[in-house]
Amino acid sequence: MKLLVLLLTLVTLVSTARAQQPGLIANTDGRKAISLNGQWQTIVDPYESGYYNYRYQPSENGYFKNAKPKSKSDLIEYDLDNSATLKVPGDWNTQSEQLFFYEGTVWYKKSFDYQRKPNTRLFVYFGAANYLADVYLNGEKIGRHEGGFTPFNFEITKLVREAGNFLVVKVDNKRRRDAVPTLMTDWWNYGGLTRDVKLIETPATFVNDYFIQLQKGSRDRVVGWVKLNGEKPQQQITISIPEAGISKSFTTGANGTALVDFTAPLRLWSPESPKLYDVSIEAETDQVRDQIGFRSIETRGTEILLNGKPVFLRGVCIHEEAPFRGGRANSRADAQTLLGWAKELGANFVRLAHYPHNEWMVREADRMGIMVWSEIPVYWTIEWENPATLENARNQLSEMVGRDKNRAAVVIWSMANETPLSDARLSFLRNLVTHARELDPGRLISAAMERHYLDATTQMIDDPLGEYLDVLGCNEYVGWYDGLPDKANRLEWRSKYQKPLIMSEFGGDALYGNHGDVLTRWTEEYQENLYRHQIAMLKRISFLRGTTPWILMDFRSPRRPLPKIQDYWNRKGLISNKGEKKKAFYVMREWYGGMESSAGNSDYKP
């Protein structure tokens, strides 16, 4: 009897391992991939007539069929092969004036041939698609993805042909009340296949995912897991770090997973020395290589400790707006420009707002030695009581952590930005915090919260969410939305929690080249003066351990129509969208420069 039960369990385990759809494929850079970037044929379909029939029911003969007239009398009212094209990766809004304000559906089509080798599998991988993507191959639906800023992949092994494949994606960036983000944001709702699209070829059983980082609080114990997917889940795997003389073997179980645990004398990653190791994960049927840094990040009281030492996070916020050309940033060059400016500012930290940015940003931050705050777009007033909204937010969180969990640069996961207090909101966000800790017990959890006045001159941070966070984030606009710049001189800050604070937003607008006296809004002098008062106030906050002014570079927002000043740009950048540094840039650089030179000594204060 016992034997039978055992056998049964084994069978179910094996069958689940075999049948299990692979999750997000980790590290697509380190695999055999074919890029599908380039020009894609497109159809702009505001009425979604390529998806619904005239009764507004989903049609079986939608544009995903890529149908062709079979005779001169045949009636086909679209032609994906001869339609206008758009560049992928790229948002559609900045590629065509007609689409600048467009929110709706655009159909994308890419044709390709593919000779699949025996015993291999094939996946299509999207870096991101904003917002709702329905994906079809050769007329068959292969999947749907919701969320505009995280990667996803689908297996197409059984559907792909030698020649004449057509991959069709319906991308819909319409805003919805129940979505994440919801209807109102202060950034442009750039739509489209905004990041790289590629075909990933793998062996029949492959290294689907892995998590290899230092254990929380340790500086030499490497823990994590490796997960295989395929019909041979039980294998020997070897993790090698040749430069550190490390080669450790583990065995995966029936579910394809092996727990990893070993000690290693590693040089630790830090902004001063962003050491990345070549790491290879070798299974019997597959091998993946990656570049991984090892560092510990933790808090102790109001301190943030990097590799056991107190650190001040000299940061700046960044939106994923492309420098110079505008639109969604999506390349290594964009990342190098934006992070290069942050370095020039004296930053060792960036807050990537308000959604996970493209993988180039975090990989460049890894290489350049810039710590990262990464956030999911739970922004302003989400539908807290809607279970589907919660599931959506949880999924975006899983995908954000899934993609970047092996990046040493990423030190903080942020759950939300400026969300209004309520019990429903608190339980929603607590659910996310718990989920984040399950996914990744090693990193710090935070959120950008708001403060309130205890009296005319006392700011209080006592958002109940603070209880569940490792690091408090707080946004304040003293001197811009709240009084004039000198108001900061009179303010004192308190917190209910013995935890480190990052002032996650502060600042004001200025149009580059617009000059006047310090009290004239929109001038560089006003912004410069505001920053001087801010810095003086921030220096007085004893539990402050980081700052990320809003924002590195001007960015587009539909909420900013002021003619000749904003013209749909939020002008709070320290740098204009054309790369011109405003006066306030130098005020911040001076402060950070002073800190940088004294950062060595452990008891320094901002």
Q: Which residues bind ligand GCU (CB under 6 A)?
A: 186, 354, 417-418, 475, 505, 550, 570, 572
Distances (CA, A) of 167 to 2, 66, 156, 216: 50, 9, 10, 43
Which residue's CB is nearer to ligand GCU, number 252 or number 417? 417
Cβ atoms 521, 465 nearer than 8 A = no
**Distance of closest approach, residue 253 Cβ to ligand GCU, in angstroms:** 44
Cβ closest to ligand GCU, residue 206 vs residue 555:
555
Q: Which is nearer to ligand GCU, 145 or 533 (CB)?
A: 533
Q: Which is nearer to ligand GCU, 311 or 474 (CB)?
A: 474
Cα–Cα distance list, 580 to 11, 26, 125, 584 (Å):
64, 37, 36, 12
CA angle 244–281–20, rounded 5-degree value: 155
Neighbouring residues of 209: CB distance < 8 A, sequence distance ≥ 6: 23, 24, 25, 26, 226, 227, 402
Q: How far is the CB of 416 from ligand GCU (least distance, A)?
A: 10
Output the smallest distance, CB 481 to ligand GCU, in A: 7
Give the nearest distance from C-beta 530 to ligand GCU in angstroms: 13
Nearer residue to ligand GCU within complex by CB, 151 or 377: 377
Distances (CA, A) of 368 to 210, 243, 333, 374, 548: 23, 20, 13, 17, 18
Closest to 219 measured CA to CA, from 298, 274, 279: 298
Comparing CB distances to ligand GCU, the nearer of 28 and 527 is 527
CA dihedral 519, 520, 523, 527 (to 10 degrees): 30
Nearest to residue 100, comparing CAs of 585, 568, 598, 606? 568
Work out the widest C-alpha separation in the chain, in whole angstroms: 88
- Give the gyration radius of the chain's Cα atoms: 25
Two structure tokens written together for 290: 């990656």
Give the helix ranges, DSSP H, for 138-260.
none
36 or 478: whose CB is closer to ligand GCU?
A: 478
If you search the block for the tokens 């870096």, which residue do you land on?
Answer: 127
Q: Is the CB of 181 or the CB of 293 nearer to ligand GCU?
A: 181
* Minimal distance, residue 574 CB to ligand GCU, in Å: 13
> Shortest distance, CB of residue 186 to ligand GCU, whole angstroms?
4
Backbone angles phi, psi at 473, to 5 degrees: -115, 140
Bridge partner list, 277: 292
* Residue among 28 and 548 whose Cβ is closer to ligand GCU: 548
Residue 529 · residue 518 · CB < 8 Å = yes
Residue 553 C-beta: closest distance to ligand GCU, Å:
12
b/e 501-537 (16+ beta carbons within 10 angstroms → b): bbbbbbbbbbbbebeeebeeebbbbbbbbbbbbbbeb
CB of 319 to ligand GCU, least distance (A): 8
Residue nearest to ligand GCU (CB): 186
CB nearer to ligand GCU: give 94 or 417.
Answer: 417
**Which secondary structure element, helix H or strand E, spans residue 363, and what is its range?**
helix 359-368
Q: Could you tell me which of 245, 228, 247 has the C-alpha nearest to residue 287?
A: 228
3-state DSSP assignment of residue 243? helix
Number of neighbours of residue 381 by Cβ within 10 angstroms:
15
Query: Nearer to ligand GCU by C-beta: 392 or 475?
Result: 475
Minimum distance of ligand GCU from residue 308's CB (angstroms): 32
User: Least Å distance between CB 555 and ligand GCU?
Assistant: 8
Q: Which is nearer to ligand GCU, 196 or 505 (CB)?
A: 505
Q: Kindly state the smallest distance separating residue 291's Cβ from ligand GCU, in Å.
A: 32
Smallest distance, ligand GCU to C-beta of residue 170, A: 29
* Rounded Cα–Cα distance for residues 69 and 77 (Å): 9
CA distance 468 to 392: 21
Question: In angstroms, how far is CA 510 from the centroid of its own chain?
Answer: 28
